Amino acid sequence: MNQKNWRPYAYYGALALFLVLFTWGFFEVVDALEENEVAAFDKMIIQEVQSWINEGRTARMVFITDLASVKFLTAATGLIALFLLFRKRYGWALFFVLVNGLGGVFNGFLKELFQRQRPDILPLIEQGGYSFPSGHSMGSFIFYGALSFMLFQLVKGKWKKITAAVLAGCMILLVGLTRIYLGVHYPSDVIGGFSIGAAWLFFCIMLFHFTEYWMRRRLSRR
């Protein structure tokens, strides 16, 4: 089998591997929480990150964190879906709405399941609800990750694809950092949010590809 024929197997194998690894990572964080093994780690990271606090930086952190708020992600998802519908990319529009919408529902379910209280170490903004896993961290990974995946599939040009992936990765990491800086999440909340957000994203990508394959098979039989 030549290299071209091997590529799909390597691609889908990598997706499955990432799904397993991030799912495992999430349950490792959950296990550490249940065993109370993260208190010292959380405290050390919070103290370090919050030692950077100053007025100008706080304003920038609030701006960045708002780019992963429920309101922003909902509006952005709607606008991107409308653009995709306008371009007659119906499958992509449905994928983008479902991966983000159901991801938000999934995060709400997990918060109610674990019911971890938020940290009370110098919160710089008000934030209600439970703490684990971080909704902003999970939501940013799903939204910016899904956007990067779509651009990688739809946009031509190697460097455009790489740029999209790098920018998405930087945005995701910055959002997680802001949640610790602003004092509304423990670092373990952020890591948990990233882990389960990534697992959800890779699961949805695999489901999307499977649906594409199934529909092509059906059309070919007609």
Q: What pLDDT, in 10s, does the model give residues 84-95?
A: 999 999 999 999
Find, among 140, 133, 115, 139, the residue nearest to 189 by Cα: 133
Segment 130-134 mean pLDDT: 95
Asked if the model's pLDDT at residue 135 lies above 70, the reply is yes
Find, among 91, 93, 190, the residue nearest to 140 by Cα: 190
Residue 70 main-chain phi, psi, to 5 deg: -60, -45
**66, 89 contact by CB (below 8 A):** no
Q: How many other CB atoms are found less than 10 A from the CB of residue 58?
A: 16
- In this prediction, residue 43 carries a pLDDT of 92
Segment 46-75 mean pLDDT: 94
Could you read off the pLDDT of 165-184 as tens digits, one per residue? 999 999 999 999 999 999 99
**64, 135 contact by CB (below 8 A):** no
pTM, rounded to two decimals: 0.92
First to last CA, the chain: 30
Q: Find how far residue 107's CA is from the centre of its chain.
A: 11
In single-letter form, the type of residue at position 169 comes to: G
Asked if the model's pLDDT at residue 221 lies above 70, the reply is no
Report the C-alpha gap between 14 and 91 in whole angstroms.
Answer: 23
Higher-scoring residue by pLDDT: 220, 80: 80
Report the C-alpha gap between 173 and 163 in whole angstroms.
Answer: 16
**Distances in whole angstroms, Cα of residue 186 to Cα of each of 4, 169, 196:** 45, 20, 16
- In this prediction, residue 155 carries a pLDDT of 86
Which of 37-51, 60-74, 135-149, 204-218 has the lowest average pLDDT?
A: 204-218
Give the total number of structural domains in the chain. Answer: 1
- In this prediction, residue 2 carries a pLDDT of 52
What's the DSSP call for residue 130?
Answer: -
pLDDT above 90 as % of the chain:
73
State which residues form the domain around 47: 3-221
Could you read off the pLDDT of 17-48 as tens digits, one per residue? 999 999 999 999 999 998 888 999 999 999 99
Find, among 108, 115, 137, the residue nearest to 30 by Cα: 115
Segment 127-140 mean pLDDT: 94
Report the C-alpha gap between 203 and 206 in whole angstroms.
Answer: 5
- In this prediction, residue 4 carries a pLDDT of 59
Average predicted confidence (pLDDT) for the chain: 91
Residue 122: left if φ>0, alpha if ψ -120 to 50, beta else—which one? left
> Exposed e or buried b for every residue in 142-158, given b needs 16+ CB within 10 A?
bbbbbbbbbbeeeeeee
- In this prediction, residue 160 carries a pLDDT of 87
Asked if the model's pLDDT at residue 3 lies above 60, the reply is no
- In this prediction, residue 161 carries a pLDDT of 87
Segment 129-133 mean pLDDT: 94
Segment 139-146 mean pLDDT: 97
